[in-house]
Amino acid sequence: DDPLTLRTSTIIWRSVLKSCGRPSERYLTMSSFAAYLGEVAAAIRGEEGSTLKHLLNANNVDARQAVFEATNTNPRWDPTPSCSSRLPSPWDEVIAPHFLCMAALVKGSSVEAYNHIANCVQPFLRSFRADTSAWCIEPMHCLVHNVHNVASAADAELKRAGKKASKLTDAGRLLQQCFSTALQGQGYKPKKLATLEVGRNIQSLHKHIHTHGRKT
């Protein structure tokens, strides 16, 4: 789940789409996004943390296929109404921008993708605080990885365009909020275990920023 893997998988995915023509005609079903959203909803209802972590991984190929089909069918596709009708609050506010992030990654815009994934953080933290079990630890780890990796890809995109790279710095702020929320363990003290992986990502992120700063 490192940033290079995210960028590489995005490049490969776009190449596959280009070489295969319209994926909805080749290997996707018309109901794939609805089915994918159904799996996400079921994982949330069942509090299946490991399943949700897998489904929301930014490198999940099935998810990218489902999102591509939706955007291919309707270029102005907005997942918000579907999420609002099928997911409990505040999870609808987490998942809708996640899907928009995936759509941006599919079309190759990492900066846009980061802006969407960043919008997932606050509603997720509201859910994390309210939960009275530890099932939400693995989804938090997934969100932290996604924010970190998409921010890295976004900064690379900004640098290629001759612009200031700022997304990793912003990601550091968001990850610190995740760490602080996990450390409180509100509602269920074992949720503090989430801090281990979040802290590791914060260290990695700051090392990346520091190394880049020294090179420039």
Structure confidence at residue 215 (pLDDT): 53
DSSP-derived letter for residue 193 is G
**Long-range pairs for 194-197 at CB < 8 Å and ≥24 separation?**
194/128, 194/136, 194/137, 194/140, 194/141, 197/140, 197/141, 197/144
Structure confidence at residue 19 (pLDDT): 38
Distance separating alpha carbons of residues 42 and 170, to the nearest angstrom: 32
Distance separating alpha carbons of residues 116 and 105, to the nearest angstrom: 10
Token pair 């997942």 in the structure block, residue: 79
Distances (CA, A) of 156 to 45, 110, 125, 150, 165: 37, 9, 27, 10, 7
Q: Specify the pTM.
A: 0.84
80: amino acid identity, one letter: T
- Report the interhelical angle of 137-160 vs 91-107 (nearest 10°): 40
The SS3 call for residue 92 is helix
Distance separating alpha carbons of residues 115 and 103, to the nearest angstrom: 12
Encoded tokens for 203: 């260290």
Per-residue pLDDT tens for 123-173?
999 999 999 999 999 999 999 999 999 999 999 999 999 999 999 999 999
Q: Which residues of the chain have pLDDT under 50?
A: 4, 11-13, 15-30, 214, 216
Q: Give burial (CB, 10 Å; 0-12/13-18/19+) of 4.
A: exposed
Structure confidence at residue 213 (pLDDT): 55
* Helix, strand, coil percentages for the chain (3-state, nearest 5): 80, 0, 20
Structure confidence at residue 210 (pLDDT): 75
Encoded tokens for 140: 């938090």
